[in-house]
Structure 1
């Protein structure tokens, strides 16, 4: 298996398959953005009338760790098939909405973050998808607070910490396919060349044996009534015990004379 006659064809097959995998796998583009929930200068409470002790409170800020809770509610509401269909997430396009815990730059920061990451076949598609997702999140957040009759001056808003990044080509999928194609081609090439050479060697061993058998059958020495060969190659008719009955008396008469 170390001979060049085996290794070189296998490398050619593996390289060809790897090149085809690289050409057939288009690049994927990735863009991400990070948002944070923020309150207005009025906080969570608006005093309706200084003379009345009852206060108007924003229900979205009426939790412990209220902003993180509101961010978790928004993230959960956005991760539904209906929302993805409305945003046009289909085919090879993907959208990931989370709390930023997977972002290395936000490790150890326990804040009301909302992270978005979009992947698609073109930079324009990815950037447009992130913009649509941001607009839907802001619209839904405002609509929910209006339905809860929260004071408008206390509405929670989403502010961009990191705007949508410039889409970058992600070739990790291409590299995985190229490596797989190369390894598969190498295995198939080595196996195919090895089997081919074994078949050729087996055929070469079978052919000389067949010729020898034919030669043996052609040059076989006659036995019995066919006679023996003299030194000059002529066949001498010498009947044995199994000779014909009419030949034996003739031989006796000759000796008697």
Structure 2
């Protein structure tokens, strides 16, 4: 079936196509309302080492040790524990990711002292709160680890906030994808059923036409019957007209003989 024929079939069956599309729109709207929205937030923190006792005026931000990147990776691994989600989230459907590189980072940079926090939650304010909770959990894990290693408090590595939690941003792709898939699926099912039904009807008509011994459709048979009846009527009129002419000729001959 060509595209032109399919289009003509769907337009010809508009009384079925339009209700099917409207029903698909209704289902799509319901799914859009049922699927919970998601709000995203993010933040960035950095590992900072304490100043040396011999150089109290030194700036820790100017002396990043390569080992800070390793410490950041250890902290990230501890945060990616499945139990962390229950500690930082209060809403079902919330997720988070903690990485050593941001979305703008390109190439292989190795271990970096930065930690990037990304959260998603169906509650707008919850997504930003999760970022701060993750930072607090990271600081506590870092402190506990250094205590276990018997590190002096003045030499502790600290986690400093670089970028505060961003305002919650609505993630539109979740609801839009679900609603769009429902709408597209409904339209395809509607068109498919209409075309399939039309194909079945056409197949039945072809089978019926082939099985006809005369080889004509019902309309052609009716036309042939009407033509045959018309011919029969004409032949009867002709048969009646000929004896009438013969009688007229005989009466004329009789009159002429008697005269």
Question: Same fold by TM (over 0.5)?
Answer: yes
SS in 1 for 2:160: strand
Which stretches in structure 1 are left out of the alignment for 5+ residues?
47-63, 217-230, 232-257
| CA distance, structure 2, for counterparts of residue 88 and residue 112 of structure 1 | 25
| CA distance, structure 2, for counterparts of residue 71 and residue 40 of structure 1 | 15
Aligned length in residues: 198
| CA distance, structure 2, for counterparts of residue 159 and residue 84 of structure 1 | 22
Q: Give CA deviations for 1:117-171 in whole Å, capped at 9, x if unaligned.
A: 1101011221222221111111111121122111211111111111100010001
SS in 1 for 2:162: strand
Q: Is the 8 A contact 1:6 1:190 kept in 2?
A: no
- Deviation, structure 1 residue 81: 1.6
Q: Relative to structure 1, is the Cα distance of residues 88 and 26 closer, same or farther in structure 2, using a 3 angstrom cutoff?
A: closer
TM-score (norm 2): 0.64
SS in 2 for 1:91: coil
Residue 71 in 1 paired to residue 72 in 2?
yes
| CA distance, structure 1, for counterparts of residue 152 and residue 106 of structure 2 | 34
Higher helix share: 2
| CA distance, structure 1, for counterparts of residue 22 and residue 201 of structure 2 | 21
User: For residue 243 of structure 2, what is the aligned residue in structure 1?
Assistant: none
Q: Is the 8 A contact 1:13 1:189 kept in 2?
A: no
User: For residue 95 of structure 2, what is the aligned residue in structure 1?
Assistant: 94
* CA RMSD of superposed structures (Å): 3.6
| CA distance, structure 2, for counterparts of residue 148 and residue 187 of structure 1 | 63
Q: Is the 8 A contact 1:71 1:112 kept in 2?
A: yes
- Deviation, structure 1 residue 185: 1.3
Q: Is the 8 A contact 1:68 1:113 kept in 2?
A: yes
Q: Is the 8 A contact 1:28 1:121 kept in 2?
A: yes
User: For residue 52 of structure 1, what is the aligned residue in structure 2?
Assistant: none
Q: Is the 8 A contact 1:38 1:67 kept in 2?
A: yes
User: For residue 30 of structure 2, what is the aligned residue in structure 1?
Assistant: 20
Residue 180 in 1 paired to residue 187 in 2?
no
| CA distance, structure 2, for counterparts of residue 75 and residue 131 of structure 1 | 15
TM-score (norm 1): 0.64
User: For residue 157 of structure 2, what is the aligned residue in structure 1?
Assistant: 156
Partner residue of 1:2 out of 1, 4, 7? 7
User: For residue 147 of structure 2, what is the aligned residue in structure 1?
Assistant: 146
Q: Is the 8 A contact 2:38 2:170 kept in 1?
A: yes
Between stretches 81-90 and 126-135, larger displacement belongs to 81-90
Which stretches in structure 2 are left out of the alignment for 5+ residues?
1-5, 56-64, 209-216, 226-235, 237-259
